[in-house]
Amino acid sequence: MRAAGLPTIVVNTSFRLAPWADMLYAMDFNWWEAYHEELSEVFKGQRWGYVRAPQYGVTPTKDKIYPAGCGNSGSYAISLAVVTKPMRVILLGYDCQFTDGRKHWHPDHGGKMGNAASIKRWPYQFSLVAKYAQSHGVRVINCSRSTALECFERMTLDQALS
């Protein structure tokens, strides 16, 4: 995305893969509490979250994005993208399944974080966001290599960028 010059939103700990991203979205206060020190060292983009966490530089989105109270960090990041009025949103890493027995591309979060405990609800939550994006004329393309989501158009990243 960086090479293509496209605005980029990272979700949760994916900031480690793209510390140059424009925005970061993380829903849970516990996540912000656990990662704020590392973020302050490497991430200079905007910080967005469902919760109020001004001490960590987070702009809250509660009551500003869809679907209120029925989402996860990934679905809310898409909703945040939609309200910026792009023509399309390209998803990477939205596999939403336990691939090779792993919950994340990184080790599990410590402390009180759920580590994808609500994954069974995600397809429904993403389907709501897919309808929301469509109603706003935003095309969402899932370029993840493997995914459990069936609510978004699928293609390779090369296809989406051409």
Q: What is the mean pLDDT of residues 53-68?
A: 88
pLDDT band at 102 (very low <50, low <70, confident <90, very high): low
Task: Kindly indicate the confidence band of residue 64, based on its pLDDT and cuts at 50, 70 and 90.
Answer: confident
Average pLDDT over residues 56-67: 87
Residue 126 clears pLDDT 80, i.e. is over it: yes
pTM metric for this prediction? 0.88
SS3 137: coil
Q: For 24-49, give one letter per residue: b (16+ CB within 10 A) or e.
A: bbbbbbbbbebbbeebeeebebebbb
Phi, psi of 123, deg, nearest 5: -55, -40
Sorting pLDDT into bands at 50, 70 and 90, what band is 77?
very high
What's the rounded mean pLDDT across residues 17-26?
95
Residue 21: pLDDT over 90: yes
- Band (pLDDT 50/70/90 cuts) for residue 72 is confident
Q: With a cut of 70, say whether residue 95 has pLDDT above it.
A: yes
Mean pLDDT across 23-41: 93
Assign 3-state DSSP to the chain and report helix, strand, coil percentages, each to 5.
35, 15, 50
37-58 mean pLDDT: 94
Shortest CA distance to 89 belongs to which of 26, 13, 20, 151? Answer: 151
| Mean of pLDDT values over 27-39 | 92
